[in-house]
Structure 1
Amino acid sequence: MATIETRKNAAGKITSYRVEWYDKGKRNRQTLPTETAAVQWKELLEAVKHDTQAAQTALLRQVSKSPSFEDVALGHIERLINVREYTIKRYRGYIKNHFVGLGHLPVDQITEDDLIRWIKGMVKKGCSPKTVANVHGFIHAAMNSAVRRRLRPDNPCNGRLLPKDDTTEDKAMFLTMDQMHLIIDQTDDWQRPMWLLLIGSGLRLGEATALTRADFQLDAATPSVRITKAYQEMEDGWAVGAPKTKKARRTVALAPSTVEAIRSRVESAAPGRPIFTVSPDTLVYPQHRQWLDGWYDAVKAAEANEDNPLKIHKRPRIHDIRHSHASMMIAGGMNLYELANRLGHESIITTTKTYGHLVPDAHFRAAAMVETALNQSIAS
């Protein structure tokens, strides 16, 4: 327990107050000019179990005139330009759900130790390494904003070691065309063209649901669809906006079989209206929830088919149709640069990280290199 001792001059008048405490077995003393300051220091010490450094940090935070980190992060969001509304909504979600232990602190008083405690707290509550990395990336950007605004001298996020993703299973699932047909065969006639378009083009769901008749060139020398827009989640609901990235604005060539599957639907669509809807008479846009339900119902039906079971170890998502399209393109000889352009990836790094292991030539070359090295070793 910390104690307070009054200090007097020769005339017996109190001149100061001395707080005494033990931290890790070592006696410490601090002289303060007023009783109020001494009591405050004593209470801080006892609140942190006489940890001197923690008490000093708490005191600095009490007297700091800097805005809270939550206010700084919200200000950072307001300053963002050319960012999708869905992304803004996600950032606000980070502040609401993942700023425990950081948001209330003055931005100039947040330390590396605070970040370490925050990371451990995120892991303890069950957040995946990817979630921790995503939120940390936003915190890092908000801290950079604070540095630029001269609210603090440095960014405590620099050099942070984030938890590794130790999962042993690929998140992406790659279906064969036979498996795709098993699922698509379980869908109704109205929805089937949509699924055939997705597997034949690799489009994102939000891109496909925003398509209108004017986006298609079905009778060109090389039939294609032009992607210039996508459904996205806004602050107050869903709306058509710009594609996910700059390179997502692209032209995707279509195979004759895909053209045949979608032609009737495209040509019968009203000008300017979305082509691919979950039912002929729907008036509600978009219908992502209904498309998800339709897909998962078809997957369940395919799995339950005793005559021709799907034979998969986990339930594929709609986005796995895109992954499956990519794997088929690679198997057909498309290189990763071409694939990145077809899928609308902003960086080929994304394509390489997701699909690089599927490139057959790389595996063959690696196997040949190993064989050569082993034979040289045996010969020597």
Structure 2
Amino acid sequence: GKTTSYRVEWTDNGKRNRMSFKSQGEADKWKALLEAVGEDTKQAERALLRQSSQSPTFEEVSKGHIERLINVREYTIKRYKGYIRNHFEPISHIPVDQVTEDDMIRWIKYMLKKGKSPKTIANVHGFIHAAMNSAVRRRLRPDNPCNGRLLPQDSSTEDKAMFLSMVQVNQVIDHSVRWHKPMWSLLIGSGLRLGEATALTPGDFQLDSAIPSVRITKAWQETESGWVVGPPKTKKARRTVALAPSTVSAIRDRVESTAHGDYVFSMSPETETFPQHRQWLDAWYDAIKDAKTNEENPLKLERRPRIHDIRHSHASMMIAGGMNLFELADRLGHESITTTTKTYGHLVPDAHFRAAAMVETALTGKPAEIEAVEIVDEVATT
């Protein structure tokens, strides 16, 4: 006629707690949970809820989210799967309805401890946010725990983009293998992405038109099964880029000597395997190294520019020549003017002049008498 119960007692932050159970198995389970989380009552309760949850894990929901994506490049899908494989360890096993804001904070700290940059953390967090929105739409949870999260700020003290003068670019070109020079001339004269330039065929060029140009309709992209030529990065990346006479002169022989349908810019006349991104990177860095060790006129740079910095340098020259940011965004194929403004807005000379005039007026109470200084970039033929 007696009822037997089992009691677990523990101390959490100096407070004595106790809980009774009908069976020893339930008591042992609660005791094990408490010991696993350092007798933190809230964490133990959360763990118990997770064990009893019938919801799929966050990893399962994330994979399902990827399967539901439409009109997304294969390279992007591959990158998302890499996020799940490499960065989800603290949250992948948690039932999606049990993921909390505290879990996301712990995840951010985990990423920082791994040495990941604020940009990488923001990119992965963006995917997590989208996957959680998918879970909300599927009614797997009521809200998104990523909303309102304060991500770490970029604390770097230098610009990642490098802006080379035309003199510096010409120094690198001068120290390049002769076969590679037309490629560098095209990149600095057009601002194309490397994947766009290496996908060009002779039919993409209109070198004898009233305004010579190149049409961008494709680019190399990485898929799970390898590299393939597909549509360019964004809708606005499908564009026509006008070419200067000096650029036309530098690339004409290469374009006209390439068979119809073949890729114009290869690493050598014998090369048949594409793409050759790694080889082009090596060729660029070799030319920089040779230019820097030149005894008569060494290339002076504090750090090594990337191939993508040729694109940045082209943009800076366009701005110095008077091109506005809206025109530049179209030329570079940016999907949003915001991207152009964030990257190159600080280079717009008129904005700096107006700012200086405003400060002068505010400080002295008199209209500014600052004379606009003509900004001249070193423009040399390539």
Q: In which range does the TM-score fall when normalised by the shorter chain?
A: over 0.9
Partner of 1:239, secondary structure, is strand
1:42-57 equivalences in 2 (<5 Å):
42-57=31-46
Equivalent residue, structure 1, for 2:155: 166
In structure 2, C-alpha distance between the alignment counterparts of 1:48 and 1:163, rounded to whole Å? 27
Alignment partner of 1:258 is 2:233: no
Tell me, yes or no, if the aligned pair for 2:56 and 2:96 is still in contact at 8 Å: yes
Which stretch has the larger CA shift, 267-276 or 197-206?
267-276
Deviations 1:170-201 (A, max 9, x none): 00000000000000111111111010000000
Q: What amino acid does structure 2 have at the position aligned with 1:239?
A: V
Equivalent residue, structure 2, for 1:245: 234
In structure 2, C-alpha distance between the alignment counterparts of 1:36 and 1:336, rounded to whole Å? 69
Deviations 1:2-35 (A, max 9, x none): xxxxxxxxx3342x33322221111222222222
Tell me, yes or no, if the aligned pair for 2:117 and 2:154 is still in contact at 8 Å: yes
Partner of 2:178, secondary structure, is coil
Out of 331, 343, 348, the residue aligned to residue 359 of structure 1 is 348
Partner of 1:200, secondary structure, is helix
Alignment partner of 1:192 is 2:186: no
In structure 2, C-alpha distance between the alignment counterparts of 1:88 and 1:63, rounded to whole Å? 32
Q: What amino acid does structure 2 have at the position aligned with 1:190?
A: W
Deviations 1:35-87 (A, max 9, x none): 21111111111111111000000001111111111111111111111111111
Q: What amino acid does structure 2 have at the position aligned with 1:92?
A: K
Alignment partner of 1:156 is 2:163: no
Tell me, yes or no, if the aligned pair for 2:360 and 2:366 is still in contact at 8 Å: no
- Structure with the bigger RCO (C-alpha within 8 Å, sep 6+) is 2
In structure 2, C-alpha distance between the alignment counterparts of 1:12 and 1:230, rounded to whole Å? 79
1:101-140 equivalences in 2 (<5 Å):
101-140=90-129
In structure 1, C-alpha distance between the alignment counterparts of 2:2 and 2:277, rounded to whole Å? 80
Partner of 1:363, secondary structure, is helix
How many residues get paired? 367
Partner of 2:273, secondary structure, is coil
Equivalent residue, structure 1, for 2:206: 217
Equivalent residue, structure 1, for 2:270: 281
TM-score under structure 2 length normalisation: 0.94
Out of 54, 79, 89, the residue aligned to residue 100 of structure 1 is 89
Alignment partner of 1:333 is 2:322: yes
In structure 1, C-alpha distance between the alignment counterparts of 2:3 and 2:77, rounded to whole Å? 61
Shift of 1:348: 0.3
Q: What amino acid does structure 1 have at the position aligned with 2:356?
A: A
Equivalent residue, structure 1, for 2:72: 83
Partner of 1:190, secondary structure, is helix
In structure 2, C-alpha distance between the alignment counterparts of 1:147 and 1:64, rounded to whole Å? 16
Deviations 1:243-272 (A, max 9, x none): 000100000000000011111111111111
In structure 1, C-alpha distance between the alignment counterparts of 2:107 and 2:260, rounded to whole Å? 52
Q: What amino acid does structure 2 have at the position aligned with 1:252?
A: V
Q: Name stretches of at least 5 consecutive residues in structure 2 with no aligned partner.
A: 368-382
In structure 1, C-alpha distance between the alignment counterparts of 2:73 and 2:322, rounded to whole Å? 34
Runs of 4+ in 1 over 3 A off after TM superposition: none
Equivalent residue, structure 2, for 1:374: 363
In structure 1, C-alpha distance between the alignment counterparts of 2:74 and 2:355, rounded to whole Å? 44
Q: What amino acid does structure 1 have at the position aligned with 2:125?
A: H
Q: What amino acid does structure 2 have at the position aligned with 1:12?
A: K
Q: What amino acid does structure 2 have at the position aligned with 1:260?
A: S
In structure 1, C-alpha distance between the alignment counterparts of 2:216 and 2:33, rounded to whole Å? 60
Q: What amino acid does structure 2 have at the position aligned with 1:195?
A: W
Out of 66, 91, 100, the residue aligned to residue 55 of structure 2 is 66
In structure 2, C-alpha distance between the alignment counterparts of 1:114 and 1:295, rounded to whole Å? 44
In structure 1, C-alpha distance between the alignment counterparts of 2:33 and 2:177, rounded to whole Å? 67
Shift of 1:228: 0.3
TM-score under structure 1 length normalisation: 0.95
Cα root mean square deviation, aligned: 1.1
Q: What amino acid does structure 1 have at the position aligned with 2:60?
A: D
Equivalent residue, structure 2, for 1:12: 2
Q: What amino acid does structure 1 have at the position aligned with 2:2?
A: G
In structure 1, C-alpha distance between the alignment counterparts of 2:218 and 2:271, rounded to whole Å? 21
